[in-house]
Structure 1
Amino acid sequence: MKTTAKKFLGIGIFLCAMLIEGHAQSDQVLKLTLEESLRYALENNVDAKNAQLETMIAKAQIVERRSAGLPQITGSYDITHNAAIPIVFVPNEGGFQQPDIDSDVLPLRFGVNYSSALVVQLNQMIFDGSYFVGLKAARTYKMLTEFDKEKSEIDVKETIKKAYFSVLVNEQRSRLIGANLGRLDTLLKETQALFEAGFSEKIDVSRIRVQRNNLLTEMDRVNAARDISVQLLKLQMGLPMEFDIELAESLSDLNSPQEINELFAFEGTRRVEMDQINTNIDLVGLDIKYTTSQYIPNLDFFGTYQRNAAAQSTGLIWENDRWFTGAFIGLRLSIPIFDGLLKSSQIQQKRAQLSQLENQKLFLESNIEVEKFQARTNLENNIQALKVQQENRELAMEVFRMAKIKYDEGVGSNLEVVEADSALKDAETNYFSALYDALIAKVDLEKALGLL
């Protein structure tokens, strides 16, 4: 709990620091790097928080299991009013004979109106073969929750990185569309002036207006995508929606060629999925031991201390001389004899589960190798496609520039400029699509190599 409190305090300090910096720039704008986004998400993402709570539950289960081996002490007190004392029938002969009663039995009441008891009971396990197996299983389960927590954190990192890159790509697309729109506005003004002077046709102005309207629609789409990606990033981070965020890093800051080369050269490291399945195998093995240990007899110690009193009226029952002590201790040996083959069938099921997990482990080992190969191949292909689209974008930019020069010098047509601008817009769209695919492939490779 102290650790959790420190974490929440750290989150508060982190938010306050970002808010102070944000207020200095604009009202409630948090400027976040990728590392800051990851750090905040690991403390506030719903899945990450639930995984942390699951580890706390596992710790409590260890204490719960350990408590079964400690003394179990219970106390009770009761006071009873015998409203109708039961009748006991005895033969009307011998010491009970009543000659004046014409019956072979006599109805007698044995009891008092009020009785009370104060009891303290002690039970202590001496030997139980399943106890230590269960305690070890609880500790192993705690290890599993730690691995599950680590897996949740890896998934959160993957989600945050992809969301962060999505925001960056959409912001860059929005800026470039704005630049394209500026070029078209300039061209439209020039063409409109030429039309008014009689050096251009109406159709030339209309072509540019159509192109400009299409670009405005594209701008609206990109801005909407950017806003949605920002909201998704905040949702995945666990950041309140009323905060505005600004990304402090650019795409070039996060994807250096050296980093890409190091990824390709790295062979991979430990994957938490293997730890998870190995721990599950250990748990099933312990479960088999636990069930088998239930064939062993159990030995318990027990003891009871009690004080009893009785009276005909409530006022008399509290008198000290009416209370009498009773106590006993003993050992209880429980020997399992026959359970209808219940434990035997349970062991058979768990051995089958163990075999299933062993099969899954072999498949997972192969699957991890395939994931690394696939992720590395996808990144190589996406980087190559990105280079091609980057070259196409530069060529389209050059074509537009030459078409504009020719048009300005009167040796080219307005149609060539419009077509070149349309080709440039398509090339930029393809470039950013390839860029996003490359970024996602990079994250996938990091995950496959166990680096997230």
Structure 2
Amino acid sequence: MRLTTRFSLFGVLLTCLLAGRVSAQEVLEFTLEESVQYALENNADAKNALLETFASKASVGEQVAQGLPQINGSFDFTKNVSIPVMFLPNEGPFADPDNPSDVIPVQFGVNYQSGISVTVNQMIFDGSYFVGLKAARTYRQLSEFDKEKTENDVIENVKKAFFTVLVNEERQQLAEANLARIDTLLQETTALYEEGFAEKIEVSRVKVQYNNIRTELDKINAASEISKQLLKVQMGLPIEYEIRMTESLRDLNQPEQITDLLDNPGYRRVEMDQLQTNWELVKLDLKNNTVQYLPSLNANFTYQRNGAGQQFNTLWDGENWFTGAFVGLTLNVPIFDGLAKAKRIQQNRIQLQQIENQIDMLDDNIVVERFQARTNLQNNLKTLDVQRENMELASEVYEISRIKYTEGVGSNFEVVEADSDLVEAEINYYSALYDALISKVDLEKALGILR
């Protein structure tokens, strides 16, 4: 990427960081490779895919943390507004002869009490932990594949949008040349009419053709601007920036490159890696449900200090605080869960079969997609050659018709008809060129060589 004001790349980046935008007079220039690289760094989908890889790395750390000591502290303070009452039988050593009731109310408690405790829990054995740790790492790998798939989609969209801009620019130049050509013919025909050597219908016929080409040029201008806006969206470039392409279609489509592309057998597809990783995740989920039949063992330790007092200020006296501590083990043994784990295992096995079927289908689809993309490119290249020849022939016919008309041995109708045929041939040529470029990108995608 370059600025037409000839600032260095570092200066441009520094200016963007400090000012937050480029002035309206500056135009950013991009090659195809620079457009793709910019999109990989700024496209919203690409940035989100990168963030997802960071989240997956954090999930691995979260899973590891479950196997580390879990330490928690607590503090409590209680003011007994009304001390609870307990009842004792009014008989035996507790009997109160002055109390006519058969029970005696007794208050056990103090006005204020508080406590501080620290609890440590440590997992000793849990089969799900080790499976979960491996699953977290596998998920991290899946997020990397998802990121690669997203980047491939971004590259595909940027390439197609970039080629669309270039095709529209060439169509724009050609339409302007057509307009200049028919404008010259209109002026010549008008001059002949004014001198009495041409009829009014001849002028009107050329004027109609002029208006048609003018309208077509307006459409092409609008399409060119729209294609640039779409390219900026795909790149993640702010809409208010002006861009210019510094490569031509000829630079990006050398004949030897097309030949190498058609002969390329293809490489790995990230879609297959995604499915295989999903299969691994379901396999781990199956293993996790299986190990849940095993018991789990946890150790715990608690240290606490408890204090009490009848008055708030006496609550904090050292002699009113006492220490307690205990160590324990907890063994959880699954006995019966209503066959829930068995049903989850059954679902996992079905999911594995489904993914295996998807893998087989994807493998076949990749073969068909490569064959179809290669065939489409070959056919579109043949069509492009035919349309290029038609455009050259139409141009030759127009020149001959114009010379004949100028020398007085041809009609104005022949010139206008030849010009109309030439414009149609040019439209067909650029339509074929666009199809060939899109099919080239499709073949690169099918072969796994978009990068």
User: Counterpart in 2 of 1:103?
Assistant: 101
Distance change in 2, residues 1:12/1:150 (3 Å): farther
TM-score (norm 1): 0.95
The reply to whether residue 199 of structure 1 matches residue 202 of structure 2 is: no
Runs of 5+ unmatched residues, structure 1:
1-10
Offset of residue 25 of structure 1: 12
User: Counterpart in 1 of 2:162?
Assistant: 164
C-alpha separation in 2, matches of 1:247 and 1:117: 73
C-alpha separation in 2, matches of 1:91 and 1:54: 68
Contact 1:18/1:30 (8 A) holds in 2: no
The reply to whether residue 87 of structure 1 matches residue 85 of structure 2 is: yes
- Superimposed CA distance per residue, residues 69-105 of structure 1 (whole angstroms, 9 cap, x where no aligned partner): 0000000111101111111111112231111111211
SS in 2 for 1:307: strand
| Structure-to-structure mapping, 1:55-66, within 5 angstroms | 55-66=53-64
User: Counterpart in 2 of 1:309?
Assistant: 307
Amino acid at match of 1:408: T
| Structure-to-structure mapping, 1:104-183, within 5 angstroms | 104-183=102-181
Amino acid at match of 2:172: S
Q: CA RMSD in A?
A: 1.7
Bigger drift between 84-93 and 416-425 goes to 84-93
Q: 2:247 aligns with which of 246, 249, 259?
A: 249
| Structure-to-structure mapping, 1:210-221, within 5 angstroms | 210-221=208-219
C-alpha separation in 1, matches of 2:29 and 2:48: 27
Amino acid at match of 2:173: R
Offset of residue 350 of structure 1: 1.1
C-alpha separation in 2, matches of 1:206 and 1:342: 85
Q: 1:382 aligns with which of 365, 377, 380?
A: 380
Contact 1:300/1:331 (8 A) holds in 2: yes
Offset of residue 26 of structure 1: 8.5
SS in 2 for 1:200: coil
Offset of residue 278 of structure 1: 0.4
User: Counterpart in 1 of 2:6?
Assistant: none
Distance change in 2, residues 1:259/1:17 (3 Å): farther
Contact 2:39/2:235 (8 A) holds in 1: yes
Q: 1:415 aligns with which of 413, 419, 425?
A: 413
Q: 1:44 aligns with which of 42, 45, 55?
A: 42
- Superimposed CA distance per residue, residues 170-224 of structure 1 (whole angstroms, 9 cap, x where no aligned partner): 1100100000111111111111111111111111111010000000100011111
| Structure-to-structure mapping, 1:209-288, within 5 angstroms | 209-288=207-286
Offset of residue 12 of structure 1: 7.9
- Superimposed CA distance per residue, residues 340-394 of structure 1 (whole angstroms, 9 cap, x where no aligned partner): 1111111111111110000000000000000000000000000000000000000
Distance change in 2, residues 1:283/1:306 (3 Å): same
SS in 1 for 2:316: coil
| Structure-to-structure mapping, 1:345-360, within 5 angstroms | 345-360=343-358
Contact 2:24/2:241 (8 A) holds in 1: no
Q: 1:399 aligns with which of 368, 385, 397?
A: 397
SS in 1 for 2:101: coil
SS in 2 for 1:203: helix
Contact 2:24/2:242 (8 A) holds in 1: no
C-alpha separation in 1, matches of 2:50 and 2:56: 10
Amino acid at match of 2:390: N
User: Counterpart in 2 of 1:450?
Assistant: 448
Contact 2:16/2:22 (8 A) holds in 1: no
| Structure-to-structure mapping, 1:430-441, within 5 angstroms | 430-441=428-439
Q: 1:326 aligns with which of 324, 327, 331?
A: 324
Distance change in 2, residues 1:191/1:25 (3 Å): farther
| Structure-to-structure mapping, 1:351-370, within 5 angstroms | 351-370=349-368
TM-score (norm 2): 0.95
Runs of 5+ unmatched residues, structure 2:
1-8
Offset of residue 313 of structure 1: 1.1
C-alpha separation in 2, matches of 1:25 and 1:167: 23
Count how many residue pairs are aligned between Structure 1 and Structure 2.
439
